[in-house]
């Protein structure tokens, strides 16, 4: 029993690191998936829906990156970072819930772990996006 609990904690840590690295792409992925589902349900077929989803995700990522790079005021950059970080927090919550569903029998502790995991992923995505650019990369 203790070995299973330790393995689940290790898995949570690895998944949180993966979620931290992929958190920037959560919003474009969700928008692309939504566009692909809509296209599939309206009769575009599997290949057409995949293409629509890829284009929608690419446009969303490009638009968010353009907004984030062109906005000069810190408050506007923070608003864009919050818009990107919110789906990352939801994804972090769902990720921890998926792992903890079978390993933590108490619903209260499961929710506590899920909220902490979601908050960790959301705050780390926000910090990663809201950080000022490196001084070494600004000169080139």
Domain range for 66 is: 24-70
Checking if the pLDDT of 138 tops 60, the result is: no
Count of CB atoms within 10 A of residue 64's CB?
19
The verdict on 55 and 42 lying in the same domain is yes
pTM of the model: 0.66
Domain count for the chain: 2
The verdict on 61 and 36 lying in the same domain is yes
Least-confidence region, from 9-13, 19-23, 26-30: 19-23
Q: DSSP class of residue 102?
A: T
Is residue 15, in this structure, part of any structural domain at all?
Answer: no
pLDDT at 140: 45
The verdict on 124 and 99 lying in the same domain is yes
Is residue 37, in this structure, part of any structural domain at all?
Answer: yes
Task: Using a pLDDT cut of 70, give the percent of the chain over it.
Answer: 90
Checking if the pLDDT of 28 tops 90, the result is: no
Mean pLDDT of 14-43: 83
Q: What is the pLDDT of residues 95-126, one digit of tens each?
A: 888 878 877 788 898 899 889 988 888 888 88
Q: What is the pLDDT of residues 75-96, one digit of tens each?
A: 888 888 888 888 888 888 888 8
Q: Up-side HSE of residue 121: CA atoms within 13 Å toward CB? A: 32
The verdict on 66 and 85 lying in the same domain is no
pLDDT at 134: 59
Higher per-residue confidence, 61 vs 21: 61
């Amino acid at each position: 029993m203790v070995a299973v609990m330790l393995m689940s904690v290790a898995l949570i840590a690895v998944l949180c690191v993966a979620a931290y690295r992929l958190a920037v792409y959560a919003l474009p992925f969700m928008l692309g998936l939504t566009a692909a589902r809509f296209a599939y349900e309206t009769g575009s077929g599997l290949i057409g829906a995949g293409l629509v989803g890829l284009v929608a995700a690419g446009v969303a990522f490009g638009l968010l990156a353009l907004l984030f790079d062109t906005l000069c005021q810190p408050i506007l950059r923070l608003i864009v970072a919050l818009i990107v970080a919110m789906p990352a927090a939801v994804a972090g919550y769902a990720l921890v819930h998926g792992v903890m569903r079978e390993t933590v029998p108490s619903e209260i502790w499961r929710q506590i772990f899920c909220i902490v995991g979601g908050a960790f992923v959301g705050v780390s995505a926000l910090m990663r996006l809201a950080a000022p650019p490196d001084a070494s990369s600004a000169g080139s």
